[in-house]
Amino acid sequence: MHDVERIRKMLLKLMDEITAIEGIIAISRDGSIISSESISRSPSETTLMKLAKTVQELDNLSRELGKGMIKEVHLVGDEGYVIIASSPTLSLIALAGLDARAQLGLIMMNLRKILDILA
């Protein structure tokens, strides 16, 4: 069981520290949405469920290819970035605009740090 309030506080703190982050979503490995924080509007419930399923499918694909559990995924879109960090129990997904390019490594490092603390 995840401590939802603790996770939420950690995500909000990270968003305060790295202002290029537009939103962060925490998803349990079974696909349950734990927290969704955003500086504007949060993704719809349908979008969050698609995201949870996509993370699960990426993990399955990585395992089928013999590469083991998914740990990191970086998606680059025309309008910004989706950065995914995963552990055996939790996935964190950060959303960032194009202005975050120089901070992508910092964002991933902090997502991994949160996962390590919560492990």
What CATH number should be reported for the domain holding residue 111?
Answer: 3.30.450.30
Name the domain count of the chain.
1
Question: CA quadruple 55, 59, 65, 71: dihedral positive or negative?
Answer: positive
Structure tokens at 8: 């939420």
Q: What is the tens place of the pLDDT at every residue in 71-114?
A: 999 999 999 999 999 999 999 999 999 999 999 999 999 999 99
d(CA 61, CA 13): 32
Domain range for residue 96?
4-118
- pLDDT given at position 86: 95
Band (pLDDT 50/70/90 cuts) for residue 63 is very high
- pLDDT given at position 55: 92
Question: Model-level pTM?
Answer: 0.91
Q: What is the tens place of the pLDDT at every residue in 13-54?
A: 999 999 999 999 999 988 899 999 888 777 888 888 899 899
